[in-house]
Structure 1
Amino acid sequence: MTVPESPAAALPDDLPESTEPPAAAERHVRAAGGELVKQEGRVFVRFQGEVQADLLRVAYRLVPEQGVLARPAKWRKMDADAQLALVQERVTAAAMERLQSQVAAFVREIEEDAEDAGLDAMVFLQALADRDSADPAGFVFDRIRQRLQHAIERDQEERHAALTRESINLAEYPDSFEMARRLPRRFIALLGPTNSGKTHQAMETLIHAKSGVYLAPLRLLALENYERLAAARPHGEALKVSLVTGEERRIEEGATHVASTVEMLDTRTRVDVAVIDEIQMLADRDRGAAWTAAVCGTPATTVYLLGAPEARRAVEALAARLECPLEVHVLKRKGPLSMEAQAVRKVRNLRRGDAVIAFSRRDVLMWRDMITETGLSVATVYGNLSPEVRRAQAQRFREGEADIVVATDALAMGLNMPISRVVMTTSVKYNGVEEEEISASLARQIAGRAGRYGVHEEGFVAGYDEETHQVMRSLLKEKLAPVPATGFAVAPTLEHLHRISSVTGEQSLARLLKRFVHNIDVPDGFFYPRITDEQSERALWLDTLALTIAEKFTMSLVPITSRISALQNAWENWARALAKKKVVALDAAASELGRMTLQEVEDHCRLYAAYAWLAYRIPEYFPSIELAQSLARRASDRVDALLQAQNAARRLRGKQGGR
C-alpha cells in the first residue's frame, strides 16, 4: 500500500526516505484492510469501513484505540522485526471488530440525539470519513458530539429567541398599563430652565386637585414635596398626604395625595392630577426606564411633565404614540444668569451666598476645611449623605447659619436654596471609568441654582481657576442636544421574566435578562429593552445561589452600592441568608455609632436604608423594618452632628490662626 496523498499522511520534507516502513509491517496492515500513515508527530494505523444503523449507511476512516504506534524518531530506531511485532500486536481482528462496534454504537447515539433535536445526523457523521483525521476514534467521536451539542444549543437558542419575541412585544408596552389605557388622559409639559417656576406652577395645580400624585427623581424631592403638600390648605383644611419611597412609607388613612419616587409609581390607583418631575431623565442610561413607565402608566386624567426644554421632542413623540393630547409651555428663567467677569482665584475671594461645587466627597470635605479655616461657616451636601442630612444642611444655609454651601452635583436636582453665585472648582468629573468634562446640560443645571427667584435679582457663575472659568463660559453658551425622540428605555419586570421563563424553561436570571435585552420584539425601536450593568453583574453572582427567579430579581435591584466593600459584603450575606431561608434581623445594640468615623456612619445609614427597602419586599426574611428606619434616622442625625462639629472645629482653628 502507498501512503495516501493527503496532508495528514504526506511525508515531511526533513525526513529521509529511509524512514519508509519495512514491507513486512506494511503488508500486515494492508492485509487487515488498513493503512500505515506517518506524520511528523506520529506513526499510526487507520482503518476504513462502513456501518449500517437504522436507515443510515455511514462510512468511516478512523484510527483505533491503540492505533498510534510511535513517534517517528522511535519508529526509525526499531528494526523490521520489532516494527512488525508491534503492528501484529495492535492490528488484530479483535481490534477491527471493536472499532466497527464502537462506530456502530456511536452512529446510533448521534442519530438518536440529532433526531430528538430535529437535525440531520449525516451533517455531523460525515466527519467520520475525514481523510485528514489522525486522532484516535475516541477524540473524533468527542469532537462530533461537541459539534452536535453546539448545533443543538444554537437551534435551541434560536427557538427560545423566537418564543421570547412572541411572548413580549414592546410595541404593545403602553397597553400593559390597563388603568392608564382606559383613562382619557392629557399631558401638559412645562419646560424651562432652573428657576423658571415650572415646579411651583404644577404643584399649585396638584394642591388644588381632588386627588393627585407627585413623582420625584430623588427621595429628597419626594420628601420635600410631601411636606409641601401636607402643609397646604387649599380649601381651609390640610390635605391628607402619603409618602411612598423605596425605603420609607408614611401612609395616611384616606390620603388623597401621594408624594412618591418615580420608581414607586402606583399604576392602579386613579388620580385627577399627576406631576412627573425632571422629564429629561427619559434619556438617563440607568434610570430612564422609570420615566418611560411613568409617562405610559400614570393613571391620571391630567399629567404634568416638568423638565428641561431639550425634552420637548421626546415628550411630543411619546404623547403622539400614546394618542394623548399635549400642551407644551416653554417657560423662561425668572431672573438673569451671568458669568462673573473673572475667576475667583483665591479662597478669601469667596463670599456669603456662594455654592462651591466639587465632584467627589473627598474634594467637598477638602474645600469645606479650607473655607471654614477662613472663618466662614459651611453647609455640606454630597451624594453619600442621606436625604435627611442633605435637607438639614441645606436648611442651615437657607436660614443663614451657614455662609457657604459646598456640594457635589447632588445640588443640581432639588434642594432649593438662596444661592447667589455658583463657583465651580473644576469642570471635570469621574464617570465611573475615567475623568471627563461635564456635559453642557449638567453645567447649565448646576449653574441654574444661582439667583433664587424672590431672593436674588440675578444669579452669577464663576470658575475657581481661569481654565474652569473659561470652560464654564463655553458650556453655558453651548446649544443642548435634544433628548432622543425614540428608543425609550423599558426595564424588565418580574412578569416579563416569568413570561420568558415559561416559554423557554430558563431559570438563570443572567440569561433571562440577556434574553430580555437581545431577544424581545422591538418592531420599530420606539421602545427599547434596557438593563443596568450593575443588575447584569449581580445576576451572574445570584445565579450561583439556590434562589427563585423572583428572589434573584428582587436582590438584583437592592439600592446599595457595590463600590464600598462593607456594603457589598452585607448585600452578599443577605442573599446567602435568603438562599438558606434564614431570617436576617437587625440588632440595635450592634450599632455603636458613637465610635465610628464620618464615612462609617454614612455607610451604616445607607445600609439601613437598603435593608428597609428589602424589608418592604421580603418581610418574612427581613422583618426589622421599623428598627432599620429608626437606625437610619439615628445614623443621619449622627452624620449631621459630626459635620457640624467638624465645621465648628475648623472655624475655631481658623480664627485662632488669624489672631
Structure 2
Amino acid sequence: MTSTHANETSLTPHDDDDERLCEALGLPERGITLVKMEGRVFLRFAGVVEEAGLRVPYQLVPQYGVLAKPSKWRKMDRDTRLALLRERSGEKAVRDLHAYVLEFVRDIAVEADDYNMDPMAFLHTLSDLQTSDLGSEVCGRIRLRLEHAVERQREERHAERTRQSISLGEYPASFTTAHRMPRRFIAILGPTNSGKTHKAMEALAKAGSGVYLAPLRLLALENYERLQTVTRHGKPLAVSLVTGEERRIVEGATHVASTVEMLDTRTSVDVAVIDEIQMLADPDRGAAWTAAVCGAPARTVYLVGAPEARKAIEALAQRLECPLEVHLLKRKGPLAMEPSAVRKLKNVRRGDALIAFSRRDVLMWRDMVTEMGLSAATVYGNLSPEVRRAQAQRFRDGTADVVVGTDAIAMGLNLPISRIVMTTTVKYNGREEEEIPSALARQIAGRAGRYGIHEEGLVAGFDDDTHQVMRALLKEKPAPLNATGFSVAPTLEHLHLISSVTAETSLARLLKRFVHNIDVPDGFFYPRITEEQFERAAWLDALPLSVADKFTLSLVPVSSKVMSLQHAWEQWALALSRGKASHVKINDQPMRYMNLQDVEDMCRLYSAYAWLGYRLPEFFPDVEAALELSRMASEKVDALLRDQNAAERKRQPKRYR
C-alpha cells in the first residue's frame, strides 16, 4: 500500500502483507484505501455522488472505518487483520457511506440554493480535505461553514432591509402632528440667574394652551404649581402634571407640565417650553430633547437653556424649516470669585452651598459642617423630588444655615445661595474620575447670588487647588454643542418595523440593528441606546416575553448597580413572563428600622413600580399604593436627614446658635 499524501506514512511492520490483504479483498478496485495517519489505522472510502445536477467526489473515513492504533495493529496476526478488514469494508459499509453522503449533499445543495450560493464551494472539501477525521466530522465542519455563510448573507439581507425600512433622514416627519403644522422657534438663552425660564413661562401662562417640558420631575412639579397660581377670568388655570411616575390629570386642562420624555406628540397646543435645551448633548438622555424639538406639536416652541446651545438650535431650526428667533439674556447680578479659598471649616458661613460629587462626600461634608454648629440642608441625586424640595425649603426659610449637595442643585432648585463653595472639581463620569467641564462649573457657580436677594454671587474653592481650577474653568468659554449628530432613541414602532422585515424577536439584536443598520443618510440624526438598556435587553431575551414588554422593562428607571433595585426589577420581569401580577402592600413597619440608604432605595423602588403601573396596569395594578409608599419613604428620608443634622449639632455647643 502506498500513500498519496506527504503526511501519510506507510504501514511498516506488515506492509507487504497488508497490501496483499487489501488486494485480496479487492479494496483498491472499490476505492478503499488502508491508511496510517495521525495515530490511527483506518480505511478511507472514495466515491462519487450525483445529485441535483452536481457531481461530488468524496474520500471519507466512516465511523466504522477506524481500525486500531498503529501499535495495536502491528500486534495483530494476519487472520485477525484480514477478518477486521473484511468486516469493515463490506458492501453494506460502502452503501451506508454513499447513502449518508448522498443525503448530506442533497441537504447542502438545497440550503445553498435558497441563498443563491454555489454548493460546490462547500462540498469540494469532501474530497480535498483528506485527514484522519471521520466523515461525520468533515460533514459537520462543512455544514458549520455553510451556516456561517448563510448567517452572513442573512445578516446582510436583514441589514439592507432594516436600512430600507428606517431612515433617520425622515425622522422629523415621523411626528405627524408637528410636521403638518406651522411652527416657529424662539430660543431664550442665557446663564443661570438670567430670567430665561421666567420669560418663557410667562408666555406659556398667557397662551390659550401649552406644555412645559422639564428635564426633572422636580422641575415639572415646580412649574405645575407655578401655572396653578395663574388665574384667567377669575379662575385658576387648569393644569395637569404628567411624569413617568406620576399623573395628576385635570378634566379639561389647557396646560400640562411634563417631563420631556412624556411629551404628548399628538395633541396640538399654542405654546411649548422645552427647558434646559443644552441637554441635547447629553449622552444618555439627549434623544428626548431631539424628539421634543422635532415633535413638540406647538405653534410656538420656546427653547430655553445655555448660550452654548445656539448653533445646535440654529441647525435644527434650519433642518426642520422652522423660523427662529434668538434672544440672548445676561445674568441679572454679577458673579465673582472670592479672592482666596475657604481653607477652613470655620470660614463656612450662612448662605453657603458646599458642592461635592457623591452621596458619600455630601453626607461627610454635612457632618463636618454641622459639627461646627451650622445646620445643613442636604441635596443629592438619589433623593426623591419631594425630599429635595423639603430640604431646599429648609434652606429657603432659614431653618438650615447652609446647603450641602451635588450638582443636583444646578438644575431645578432656585435657592437663595450667596456663595458656592466647591469642595472638589473632580467628578466620576461612569468610567473614571475627571475634571468637570466648564459648562457644568458655570452652571453650578451660577446658582450663587439669587437676583433680588443678593447683590452678587460669589464662588470659592474649599482648598487652594480647587479655587484656582474653578477660577480657570469660569474663564473658559464653554464649547458650543455639536450642530449635527443629534441623538435618536429607538421607539417600539421602530423595533416592530425592524422585526417585521427580519423576523427577529430578540430585543438585544433589534436594538443592535437599530444602532448599526438603519439608514443614517448624512449623520444629522444619529441612533443611540444606553449601555444599560442593551445589557437589560440581553437578560430579558431569556424570558418568554413580547418585544413590547421587553422594551418597556428595559426602560424602567431603576439603577442596575443597586442590588435591591436590580433584584426587584428581575422579579417583576419574571412575574410578567409568567403572566402574573406584581403587588405592593402598604406597611411602614419595616421602614422604621431601615437606614438612610435603604429608605432612599425603597423610595426609588416604589416610584419605579408606579412607572410600570402606568404602562402595564394589568400586571402592576397597585399604583396608588406604590405612590403612597413612595410618599411615606420620602417623608422618612427627610426625617432621617433632619434627625442626623440635629444629632451632629448637639454634639458641641457652637457659635452660630
Taking structure 1 as reference, are residues 658 and 69 closer, same or farther at Cα in structure 2, changes over 3 Å only?
farther
Indicate whether 1:24 and 2:11 are aligned: no
Q: Secondary structure at the match of 2:587?
A: helix
**More deviation, 618-627/478-487:** 478-487
Report the count of equivalent residues. Answer: 654
Contact 2:374–2:656 (8 Å) recurs in 1:
no
Relative distance call for 1:19 and 1:534 in structure 2 (3 A) is farther
Name which of 573, 580, 598 aligns with 2:596.
598
Provide the TM-score with structure 2 as the length reference: 0.95
Letter of the structure 2 residue corresponding to residue 378 of structure 1: A
Report the AA paired with residue 99 of structure 2.
S
Q: Work out whether 1:485 is the aligned partner of 2:483.
A: yes
Structure 2 counterpart of 1:387:
385
Structure 2, unaligned runs of 5 or more: none
Shift of 1:70: 3.1
Residue of structure 1 in register with 2:50 after alignment = 52
Task: Choose from 250, 270, 273 the match for 1:272.
Answer: 270
589-598 or 511-520, larger mean C-alpha shift: 589-598
Q: Aligned partners of 2:643, 2:436: CA distance in 1, in Å?
A: 33
Provide the C-alpha distance between the structure 1 equivalents of 2:40 and 2:461, rounded to a whole number of angstroms.
75
- Once the 2 structures are TM-superposed, how far is the Cα of residue 222 of structure 1 from its aligned partner? 0.4
Among candidates 180, 183, 196, match of residue 181 of structure 2: 183
Displacement of 1:234 in angstroms is: 6.1
1:207/1:234 contact within 8 Å kept: no
Query: Does structure 2 conserve the Cα–Cα contact (< 8 Å) formed by 1:373 and 1:655?
Result: no
Secondary structure of 2:2's counterpart equals coil
Q: Give the AA of the match of 1:375.
A: G
Query: Are 1:4 and 2:4 matched, yes or no?
Result: yes
TM alignment of 1:498-537, pairs within 5 A: 498-537=496-535
Shift of 1:36: 3.0
Paired position in structure 1 for 2:327: 329
Which one of the candidate residues 438, 442, 464 is aligned to 2:462?
A: 464
State the AA in 1 paired with 2:222.
E
- Report matched runs for 1:13-92 at 5 Å: 22-25=18-21, 27=23, 29-78=27-76, 83-92=81-90
Q: Which residues in structure 2 correspond to 1:440-479 (within 5 Å)?
A: 440-479=438-477
Letter of the 1:127 partner, please give it: T
| Residue 647 (structure 1) shift | 0.7
In structure 2, C-alpha distance between the alignment counterparts of 1:411 and 1:658, rounded to whole Å: 24
Could you say what the CA RMSD is over the residues aligned between the two structures, in angstroms? 2.1
Q: 1:430 deviation in Å?
A: 1.7
Question: Which one of 373, 383, 387 corresponds to residue 375 of structure 1?
Answer: 373
| Greater alpha carbon shift after TM alignment, 368-377 vs 56-65 | 56-65
Cα 1:303–1:88 shift into 2, 3 Å:
same
Q: Which residue of 1 aligns with 2:112?
A: 114
Task: Indicate which of 545, 553, 572 corresponds to 1:555.
Answer: 553
Partner residue of 1:362? 360
Q: Quick one: which amino acid aligns to residue 578 of structure 2?
A: K
Corresponding residue number in structure 2 for 1:220: 218
User: How big is each residue's C-alpha offset from its partner over 1:283-316, in whole Å with a ceiling of 9 and x where there is no partner?
Assistant: 1111111001000000111111011111111111
CA offsets per residue over residues 551-591 of structure 1, 9 Å max, x none?
Answer: 11111111111111111111111111111111222111365
Q: Could you say which residue in structure 2 is the equivalent of 1:256?
A: 254
Q: How does 1:537-616 map to 2 (within 5 A)?
A: 537-589=535-587, 592-616=590-614
State how far apart, in whole Å, the 2-side matches of 1:615 and 1:81 are. 81
Distance in 2 (alpha carbons) for counterparts of 1:26 and 1:406: 93
Partner AA of 1:34 in structure 2:
I
Find the aligned partners of 1:81 and 1:309 in 2 and give their Cα distance.
97
1:347 aligns with 2:345: yes
The answer for unaligned runs of 5 or more in structure 1 is none
State whether residues 24 and 80 of structure 1, in contact with CA within 8 Å, keep that contact through their aligned partners in structure 2.
no
Amino acid at match of 1:143: R
SS of corresponding position for 1:66: helix
For normalisation by structure 1, the TM-score amounts to 0.95
Instruction: Tell me how far 1:80 sits from its aligned partner.
Output: 5.8
Q: Which residue of 2 aligns with 1:317?
A: 315
Instruction: Decide whether the 8 Å contact of 2:312 with 2:481 is kept in 1.
Output: yes
Q: Hey, what does 1:415 align to over in structure 2?
A: 413
Query: Deviation of residue 188 (structure 1)?
Result: 0.8
- Residue by residue, what CA displacement relative to the aligned partner does 1:160-217 show, whole Å, maximum 9, x if unpaired? 2222122211111111111111211000111121112111111111111111111000
8 Å CA contact 1:372–1:654 kept in 2: the answer is: no
Aligned match of 1:152:
150
The aligned residue for residue 247 of structure 1 is 245
3-state DSSP of counterpart to 2:342: coil
Distance in 2 of aligned mates of 1:101 and 1:624: 64
- Bigger CA drift: 114-123 or 362-371? 114-123
1:63 positional shift: 1.4
| Letter of the structure 1 residue corresponding to residue 595 of structure 2 | T
Shift in Å, 1:607: 1.0
| 8 Å Cα contact 1:6-1:131 kept in structure 2 | no
Shift of 1:38: 2.8
- Hey, what does 2:139 align to over in structure 1? 141
**Structure 1 match to 2:190:** 192
